Structure 1
Amino acid sequence: MIGIGIVGLPNVGKSTLFNAITKAGAAEAANYPFCTIEPNVGMVTVPDKRIDELAKIINPQRVVQATVEFVDIAGLVAGASKGEGLGNKFLSNIRGTAAICQVVRCFDDDNVVHVSGGVDPIRDINVINGELILADMETIDKALEKNKKLLVTKNKDVMKLVPVLEKCQAHLNEEKLLKTLNLTDEEKELIKVYQLLTIKPMIFVTNVSEDDLATGNEYVEKVREYAKGLDSEVVIVSAKVEEELQEMEEADKEEFLESLGVEEAGLNRLIRAGFKLLGLQTYFTAGVKEVRAWTINIGDTAPKAAGVIHTDFERGFIRAKVASYEDFIKYSGWKGTQEAGVMRVEGKDYVVQDGDLMEFLFNV
């Protein structure tokens, strides 16, 4: 699956936000519905000050940062699950993503048309979630119809699957997202093949005016309250501000953000939140040729981490030399951490921590 799908009703600022995220201007942004038809995909660098600090110590020939993928998907309208607007196309595009980023309009502007006639973020979220629920209901109903017929075969997998599908069906019939249903890891694995929409991790981006960027507003508070029930994060962004920032020099950006009462661009927070939403974390390798951030899943062991460099590293893994980022900075590199006794040697069962500095020993 590709990364994070940016979704929302038409004219909430999705494509403007995507353009700012990718700094590529690849997504058309205009003041009319269905401006985005084919999904635009952008690989985005994950802002991480740690890699800059590592580079100061190592002075490498090059620095390579971690990336995360964002996808700008066409605006959805009520009735999408029945084919309204770009319905089926929207749903198939989002089905291929690993997580959902819902952009919600939280600003008043008579010059920007709202597809529903007025600003109401919770109504907008419910429209999107309602369509996702209806799409999942259709998927589950078809799966149940097929698998119930197979129960007569006494197939063990089918006998395990049907009760899970029935549990999902009952939950969806209550108009609830599957991400709020208490499923075991085994049950999630059984239904993984269906690429259900409402089970995906979700984050909400509240698109506000420039004046509300630092503190938010009453619309944002409503979204925050709603997101609590889904255990989802809320990020405040002003798509208009982010668009303006892309045209500025670095020094001017800092001054502009300071004048707005914020320390960093909202997009930086969004990209980091998206990285976390996907269950990803970073470890580093640091040598004179290259300082690099490597992307792995949270909970990955040392051999898995080695495998993202090269599959041979995972197959032939023997052990890893490890130092925490904090110790690496404190003692100025590998030599200092070894002399201070804080550099460790870890084996195959070691679970990599975010920010670890690692070197691998392996059999070719």
Structure 2
Amino acid sequence: MSSESSRGGLEDLLAPARELETLIVVLRDFDSPGGPESDPQSDLAEVLGEFIIADLVVVEKRLEKLEERSRKPNFDDDDRREQALLGEISGHLESEKPVSSFPLDDIQRKAISGFGFLSLKPYLAVINSGEGGGNAVEAELSSVAGTEVLSCKALNEFEILQLSPEDQAIFLEEYGIQSFSREPIISAAYQTAGRISFFTAGEKEVRAWTIRDGTVAVDAAGEIHTDIARGFIRAEVVSYEDYIENDGIKGAKEKGKFRLEGKTYAMADGDIVEFRFSV
């Protein structure tokens, strides 16, 4: 296989990841029959290198199209700016550096957002120790990776999840697993992506809504319906901790834990909210 076709195959394999906001890189820390010895740190470096190569392929393809377009009369200033920026990014990638380390202002970041550069995306690493204990140390790998590192025993956990709740507790203890890893991994993925959730709780339905961290109340209301944002009056808010501690909304209201917040209130992760509005 030629290097060009190899690169094309890599791009096809990684293309779906370009649509994601954050990535989870799973690293093997167990022996595989007939395979090389596990080395999570080396594997992580290889994966991040593949991201750089895949991004370089995308940039080169776009620069080729811009070069062709530059010979036509409809080649405008926006095209020239894009060509110049991508030319600089291409050199950066060729130096085996990720797009995340390339200095970008807000306008430039928005201009390249459509490419879904893999080496620009935030990521977290998960060490899968298989059935065994594994030898990788999370703290050591985290210092090298520059991101959060979690661990799991994927095969053990998968098998335990097929059991009844009573049997699950027995086997979790036997394998030395304090709790399933899926919850902390999901939580870490949300944090890495800069996302939080708030809840609306009615008599018939409780629903979670995902928003960006730092979203204010009126914009959060708009995630539910634009009419709520347009006619926003106030948000009645109780924290998740107060909700649990006081046995729900009724108890939280009786204890005075509900707060009245305005449009500019920055939503907190786990907030339970009732929006008041008029249209």
TM-score, L = length of structure 2: 0.83
Instruction: Tell me the residue number matched to 1:165.
Output: 86
- Written as runs of structure 1 = structure 2, the 5 A alignment for 1:286-297 is 286-297=201-212
RMSD between superposed Cα atoms in Å: 3.2
Bigger Rg over Cα: 2
Between structures 1 and 2, the one with greater helix share:
2
Instruction: Tell me the residue number matched to 2:235.
Output: 320
Q: Which of 238, 262, 266 does residue 347 from structure 1 map onto?
A: 262
**CA deviation profile, 1:152-195 (whole Å, cap 9, x unmatched):** 98955446545543442232122122223343333211211222
- Deviation, structure 1 residue 290: 2.5
Instruction: Tell me the residue number matched to 1:235.
Output: 150
Matched, 1:275 2:190: yes
**CA deviation profile, 1:311-349 (whole Å, cap 9, x unmatched):** 332333222111222233344444444454442222222
> Number of paired residues?
277
Q: What is the alpha-carbon distance in structure 1 between the residues aligned to residue 223 and residue 261 of structure 2? A: 18
Matched, 1:128 2:47: yes
What amino acid sits opposite 2:27 in the alignment? V
The answer as to whether partners of 2:217 and 2:262 remain within 8 angstroms in 1 is yes
Instruction: Tell me the residue number matched to 2:119.
Output: 198
- Deviation, structure 1 residue 237: 1.4
Instruction: Tell me the residue number matched to 1:259.
Output: 174
Q: What is the alpha-carbon distance in structure 1 between the residues aligned to residue 140 and residue 125 of structure 2? A: 11
Structure 1: unaligned runs, 5 residues or longer? 1-77
Instruction: Tell me the residue number matched to 1:93.
Output: 16
The answer as to whether partners of 1:302 and 1:347 remain within 8 angstroms in 2 is yes
Q: Which of 136, 141, 144 does residue 60 from structure 2 map onto?
A: 141
SS at match of 2:211: strand
| Divergent runs of 4+, >6 A | 78-81
The answer as to whether partners of 1:81 and 1:135 remain within 8 angstroms in 2 is no
Q: Which has the higher relative contact order, 1 or 2, with Cα contacts under 8 A spaced 6 or more apart?
A: 1
Q: Which of 13, 25, 35 does residue 102 from structure 1 map onto?
A: 25
The answer as to whether partners of 1:81 and 1:134 remain within 8 angstroms in 2 is no
What amino acid sits opposite 2:49 in the alignment? G
What amino acid sits opposite 2:104 in the alignment? L
- Written as runs of structure 1 = structure 2, the 5 A alignment for 1:55-66 is none
**CA deviation profile, 1:249-306 (whole Å, cap 9, x unmatched):** 1122122212233321122222222233332211122233233322222122212222
User: CA 1:251/1:184 → structure 2, altered by over 3 Å: closer, same or farther?
Assistant: farther
Q: What is the alpha-carbon distance in structure 1 between the residues aligned to residue 2 and residue 218 of structure 2? A: 47
The answer as to whether partners of 1:100 and 1:203 remain within 8 angstroms in 2 is yes
SS at match of 1:198: helix
The answer as to whether partners of 2:236 and 2:275 remain within 8 angstroms in 1 is yes
Q: What is the alpha-carbon distance in structure 2 between the residues aligned to residue 141 and residue 329 of structure 1? A: 53
The answer as to whether partners of 2:7 and 2:54 remain within 8 angstroms in 1 is no
User: CA 1:332/1:250 → structure 2, altered by over 3 Å: closer, same or farther?
Assistant: closer
